Amino acid sequence: MPGPILEVSDSEDSDLVLRTVEREDAPFLQRVFTDPYARLGLHEATHKSEAEVEEFVEEQVEDDSNAAYFACVDDEDAPFDHPDEDETEVVAFVYANHVDRDRPGLVVWVPEEHRGDGHAEPALELVLDALWRTYDAHTVGATVLGGDEFTQNLVESVGFVDEGRGREVQFVDGAYRDEIEYGLLREEWGGQ
C-alpha cells in the first residue's frame, strides 16, 4: 500500500493526504492501465501486466524528473509512514511527468468507485499546491481525451483552460477521439 505522507490538506472540508507510490502498489496501479482514457495520458496504448506496471514504477515513478502521488483518506489512527491496507484508502492517482521542465504534464485517475464522492477536486488541488511549491514550473498541462467528461470537468473545475485540440488522434472504445490540451499558469492558480 502507499508509503509515507508527503502532503496534508489544510482544508477543513478535506481529510486527504498525499502519499508516495511504492513498488508494492503495482497491483493497484495496474487498474490505471485498464482505463483507456488514463493510460493514454501515460503514453501507453494497451493494458499492462503486473510485471510491466512494476517496471513503470521503477523507471517512471521513481525517476526524479517525475512526481507521482496517491491521494488517500486515512483512518484516524493511520501511521505517518506505511499504513496497512485497512488504514488508508486510495481515492486518486496523480502523475506529473517532466517536473524538471517548464511545463509538467499531469495525468489524473480516480477509481470508478470514488468518482462523485467529492475527493477528486481537493486531491488535484493538493497536488497542484505541492507542484507549485516544490518545482519551478511556469505552467502545468494536462491532455484529456474527448469523451472523458469526468476528467474534463475536473481539470476545468480547478482552473485549467482549454488551449486547443488534436482532432481524432486517438482510437479508444471503437472510435477516434480528440486530444484536448489544457493548461494552467502559475499566476492563474487560485489555490495558493
By percentage, how much of the chain surpasses pLDDT 70?
98
Q: What was the pLDDT predicted at 168?
A: 96
CB 93 within 8 A of CB 18: no
**Of 40 and 94, the one with more pLDDT:** 94
> pLDDT of 113-134, one tens digit each?
998 898 999 999 999 999 999 9
Question: pTM for the whole thing?
Answer: 0.89
Q: Which residues pair with 17 in a beta bridge?
A: 8, 72
Asked if 146 and 173 count as a contact pair (C-beta separation under 8 A), the reply is no
Half-sphere exposure of 15 (CA within 13 A, CB side): 12
Q: What is the mean pLDDT of the chain?
A: 90
Confidence at residue 81, expressed as pLDDT on a 0 to 100 scale: 87
The domain limits of the chain are 5-188
* Per-residue cell: 23: 513498488
For residues 163 and 14, the model is more confident at 163
Q: Are strands 88-97 and 67-74 parallel, antiparallel or unpaired?
A: antiparallel
**CA distance linking residue 23 with residue 21, whole number of Å:** 7
The alpha-carbon radius of gyration of the chain (Å, integer) is 16
Side chain identity, residue 105: G
SS3 66: coil
Q: How confident is the model over 128-173, as pLDDT tens digits?
A: 999 999 999 999 999 999 989 999 999 999 999 999 999 999 998 8
Residue 164 confidence (pLDDT): 97
Say what the pLDDT of residue 190 is: 77
Pick the CATH number of 5-188 from 2.60.34.10, 3.30.1540.10, 3.80.10.10, 3.40.630.30: 3.40.630.30
| Confidence (pLDDT) at 192 | 47
Neighbours of 86 (CB within 10 A): 9
pLDDT score of 13: 66
122-154: string of b/e by CB count within 10 Å (b at 16+)?
bbbbbbbbbbbeebebeebbbbbbbbbeebbeb
